[in-house]
Every structure is written in structure tokens, then in C-alpha cells.
Amino acid sequence: MKSWVCSIFLALLAMQSWAAELKTVPMRPAPAMMLPVLDAASMDLKQLHGKVVLVNFWAVWCPPCRKEMPSMTRLMTKLSGKPFAILGVNEGESPEEIRAFLKQVPVNFPILLDTEGAYLKPWQVFAFPTSYVVDKQGRLRLGLFGSIEWDSPETVNELEKLISEQ
């Protein structure tokens, strides 16, 4: 019985990541966000006005989060020099836990610390990972509940469309 339940759980996880797709969300201003950055000063999302911003809510303990991080690093490299940024918003973990994770899975974008989970509700985050893409004017445009390969040609194409908008 125990292995049967475990098999169903694993199948549901697989379906979730298979079904994950970057989708258009109702356009509205992105919720405000000002958080401390791991090993740096605080960052305000408003500082990135004029850039397309991928905001990814994640946790060290989340397997799909761990899986997608390398593709976000490759995406950041691929879109280097363009008006694009990634913010990894860690939920509730200590800087020590995050640093240990980043030794295994290094990233090339800032990690913001939402130690109290204050931004989960305004950003409508119900599961990890959850990601939103904010356009140059600070509006939510795309969303994803689950993980994907962020540097896939289809995803890069969607992001480049937003980057090329005036």
C-alpha cells in the first residue's frame, strides 16, 4: 500500500512539471516588493523599471526549484546585455541554508530574502516554484506555477517579445 501511494505521489509530481507552462496572466501592476538581498543591500522591484523581470519564488527544500535554477542561470547569461533581470525570492530560509545551496547550484542573479513570507499573498504564491514575468512598465504579463527549462527556445522567444516592446 505504501509503495502504491508513493507511486501516485511521484506520478502527480511528474504531471505537474510536465504540465507547467508559461502562461499569460491578467495584466495588472506587479505588487510592490522591497527585500534584503543575500550578502548585499536591499532591492526594490521599482529599481528595475524599464527591464523585463523574472520573479521566481523558491525554497531550498523544493526539488522542482532546485531543478530549474541552472536553466535560469543559463537564461540570464543568454539575455545578458538586454533589459532583463531575474530575482530569486527565497521563502523563509536562513542565509546559511541558502549559501550552502548556492555552493551546489550557483546562480548569476540576486537572491532576495522573504524570511517571513510577506510577499506570498500579494504575489499569489500558493506553491513552489511560482514565477511571474513583469514587463518594462512594471505590469504582470506571464506566470508559471511549477518549473520549466527557462532557457528553452519557446520561453526565450516569449521573453524576447516582451524585451522588444517599447
Residue 8 within any structural domain of the chain = no
Contact call for residues 63 and 145 (beta carbons, < 8 A)? no
Residue 13 within any structural domain of the chain = no
> What is the CATH number for 109?
3.40.30.10
Q: What is the pTM of this model?
A: 0.87
Residue 107 within any structural domain of the chain = yes
- Looking at residue 51, its pLDDT comes to 98
Task: State the DSSP H helix or E strand holding residue 154, giving kind and residue range, or none if neither.
Answer: helix 153-164
| Inter-axis angle of helices 2-19 and 63-78, nearest 10 | 20
SS3 (DSSP) at 65: helix
Region 59-68 average pLDDT = 96
Residue 42 within any structural domain of the chain = yes
Q: What is the pLDDT of residues 70-106, one digit of tens each?
A: 999 999 999 999 999 999 999 999 999 999 999 999 9
CA 78/CA 58 separation, integer angstroms: 22
Residue 110 within any structural domain of the chain = yes
Q: Closest by alpha carbon to 113, among 135, 144, 90?
A: 90
Domain with 58 in it:
21-164
**Considering its fold, how many domains does the chain have in total?**
1
SS3 (DSSP) at 48: helix
